[in-house]
Amino acid sequence: MSISHFISPFQITFFLLQIFISNAHKHLNNPPQTPKVSAVLVFGDSTSDPGNNNFILTPFKGNFPPYGRDYPDKRPTGRFTNGLLASDLIARYLGVKDNVPPYLDPSLTVHDLMTGVSFASAGSGFDPLTPTISNVIPLPRQLEYFREYKTRLAAKFGKTRTMEIVNNAFYIVSAGTNDFVVNYFTLPIRRQKYTLPAYMDFVLNKQMDFLQSLYNEGARKIGVVGLPPMGCLPIVITLFSDNALLDRGCIDFFSSVGRTYNSMLQTRLNLMQFNLASQQGGRIAYVDAYSTLFDVIVSRYKYGFKEVERGCCGTGLLETTVLCNPKSSTCPDASKYVFWDSIHPTETVYRIFFESTRSVVDSVVKD
């Protein structure tokens, strides 16, 4: 006997109406979550450049295979990895957008702009000399682009709405590695003028000047990424190890520079946060990249990695940018590698880094 013999059409309609009303009440009582911030805005180097270098005259690009091998549609976007960057994952976590696009992309819509872009340029740094080495976008120029960005938004939404977007955005600042690896340790110019401690002070002062300028432009929620264990980067091991082919262990001297600099940076950020509390408000926080990457390397099996000393692209010893190209061989499974090329992490590592920073991000963006 069918169920229709026991339930009339009227009863079915009444039952469905109750379900509809119940769901409506649930929706009203628990509305969909809105994004925690208005936008995600990013400054820095290749750790956060999604393709700005595609639009400038520089050899330091990653807009060709095998870069982007595991990106959606297997598309090389200019990101110096096989897939997504940590800044993309943070934007997704905050509910703003799936990927943070490059500001210089001429195809961006106003909506793309208002929800966040990256001004970062691979090869850049806080030392004014660093970006000139690869002819990339200096941090002060990135700040000029930010001012231009504000002007473009104001033309569409007005100054008041623009400042609401700017004040409520989450800012990521990730740079400094090139100042040491590409500039100070590789070239003689800065070493002739600065001792290592003096150079660290010089770079840190430039970084703090940038952060203060960013705050003056309206940034109120800022995450500042520290230096990684530089002595564990495959290219550093290759260039500075006494026997790079046989001994591929981390070189602690270079990593110790990162540790010392990060400690100095945290002290200065704490002081800046203290001063912000007595001014117009705002939050600025240190984001620890060193501990995560170092733990991944020394505890590789815990994370499922099989290779931590070489990149996935080519030999993994020196390849980056044009040396990692369509003719380069690549490992079959990048998720088993910590590094994609000789400098840059794989998407898997960026995901681990993102997970380790969620509490810091939450503390910065909280109401």
Distance CA 105, CA 119 (A): 10
pLDDT at 80 over 70: yes
- Residue 304: phi and psi, rounded to 5, are 85, 15
The position carrying tokens 């490992």 is 331
Return the domain boundaries, the chain: 35-298+348-365
Instruction: Name the active-site residue from 38, 46, 335, 356.
Output: 46
Q: Please tell me the distance from the alpha carbon of residue 269 to that of residue 180, in angstroms, as a whole number.
A: 20
**3-state helix/strand/coil string of 286-330:** EECCHHHHHHHHHCHHHHCCCEEEEECECCCCCCCHHHCCCCCCE
Closest CA to 236 of 184, 200, 199, 287: 184
For residue 16, pLDDT over 50 is answered with no
- Mean pLDDT, residues 161-183 taken together: 98
* pLDDT of the residue at 33: 58
Instruction: Let me know: does 181 contact 235? Beta carbons within 8 Å.
Output: yes
pLDDT at 5: 44
Count of helices and strands (H, E) across the chain: 14, 6
326 backbone dihedrals φ, ψ, rounded to 5°: -55, -20
Point out the catalytic residue in the list 45, 88, 344, 356. 344
Percent of the chain with pLDDT over 90: 86
Q: 335, 341, 342, 356: which is the annotated catalytic residue?
A: 341
Cα separation, 116 vs 89, in Å, equals 13
Residue 45 known to be catalytic: no
Q: Which candidate, 292, 233, 224, 295, places its Cα nearest to that of 264? A: 224
* pLDDT score of 248: 87
Owner of token pair 């806080």: 126
Buried b (16+ CB within 10 A) or exposed e, 80-119: bbbbbbbbbbbbbbbebbebbbbbbbeeeeeeebbbbbbb
**Given this model, what pLDDT does residue 32 score?**
38
Nearest C-alpha neighbor of 47 from the set 256, 257, 353:
353
344 is catalytic: yes
Q: Do residues 50 and 88 lie in contact, with contact meaning Cβ atoms separated by under 8 Å?
A: yes
pLDDT at 205: 98
Which of 19-23, 124-128, 140-144, 333-337 shows the lowest per-residue confidence on average (mean pLDDT)?
19-23
pLDDT, tens only, 256-279: 999 999 999 999 999 999 988 777
**23: pLDDT strictly greater than 90:** no
Tally of CB atoms within 10 A around 140: 15
Model's pTM, two decimal places?
0.90
| Residue 105 is a catalytic residue | no
**pLDDT score of 279:** 74
Question: pLDDT value at position 14?
Answer: 41
- pLDDT per residue as tens digits for the range 231-260: 999 999 999 998 777 788 999 999 999 999
Q: What is the pLDDT of residues 295-342, one digit of tens each?
A: 999 999 999 999 999 999 999 999 999 999 999 999 999 999 999 999
Mean pLDDT on 144-156: 97
CATH code of 35-298+348-365, in short, is 3.40.50.1110
Structure tokens at 75: 């598309």
Rg over CA atoms, the chain? 24
